[in-house]
Structure 1
Amino acid sequence: MYTFTKEERLCNKRLIDELFHNGSSFLCYPFKASRLLMTEPQQVPAQIVFSVSKKRYKRAVDRNQIKRHMREAYRLSKQQQLYDQLNNADKRIILSVGYIGKEIAPYELIEKKC
């Protein structure tokens, strides 16, 4: 239940390209999220990719810390906020969450916004 398995990570380059070209996006500062409903069956209700700009955060330590916090917040809240609704509607979705904040936000803010 509170896991984040390989099947839930979006790694397929074709799907990522399709998400960014055909998906819809919205802004919830400090995040920019893109989503696309899938017609083909998937193993899990949602697949997700997290990204942090290398241009804004030069040090890999900072990028990895932000991504770690985003993954943890998603892992803890995905079941009640996302999976239950997707399973009830029998839908599948792919997501992208990019961090666009100018400063490294504390974990509490990231958890609240996710």
Structure 2
Amino acid sequence: MNSFTKEERLCNIKLIEKLYHNGSSFLVYPFRIIWISAEVDSDIPVQVLISVPKKRFKRAVDRNLLKRRIREIYRLHKSEDLFPFLNERSEKIILGINYIGNEIAEYASMEKKFNNALLRLKKNISEQSC
């Protein structure tokens, strides 16, 4: 279950545009979380897009390091926090994770902030579905 398969990655351009134009968002520094409920055909309840801006991190090495860290944190925490919550509600979402920090954060601090972001995401989903 601790994998990050192709089906979990958001690649569809129409869905990405829908996410950025119609999605709800919130900030938990250094992350901006954008999400929208969607009717996705797969069995997986979440499709994820992870982005790090070229404007803030000019070197591809730095962008790739941050994306790798975010993917790893997501991969480790999705099965215990996010998937059971969405499966019990039989809800499917599209999720965008944007890194908005100005410097490369430590893994431990990123993990703590990402957990806070997941809690807030679950709160927002439960408020919207009620």
Question: Could you tell me the TM-score, scaled by structure 2's length?
Answer: 0.85
Please report how far the alpha carbon of residue 40 of structure 1 lies from its aligned counterpart in structure 2 after TM superposition. 4.5
- Distance in 1 between the 2:2 and 2:113 partners? 18
Say if 2:59 is the partner of 1:76.
no
1:54 aligned partner: 54
Residues 41-99 of structure 1: per-residue CA shift (max 9 Å, x gap): 33310000100010110000000000000000000000111000000000000000000
Question: Could you tell me the TM-score, scaled by structure 1's length?
Answer: 0.97
Secondary structure at the residue paired with 1:26? strand
Once superposed, what is the RMSD of the aligned Cα atoms? 0.9
- Distance in 2 between the 1:8 and 1:15 partners? 13
1:42 and 1:92 in contact (8 A); partners too = no
- Identity across aligned pairs (percent)? 54
Higher-helix-fraction structure: 2
- Distance in 2 between the 1:23 and 1:58 partners? 27
Higher-strand-fraction structure: 1
Where does the alignment leave 5 or more consecutive residues of structure 1 unmatched? Answer: none
Aligned residues: 114
Say if 2:5 is the partner of 1:5.
yes
- Distance in 1 between the 2:43 and 2:73 partners? 22
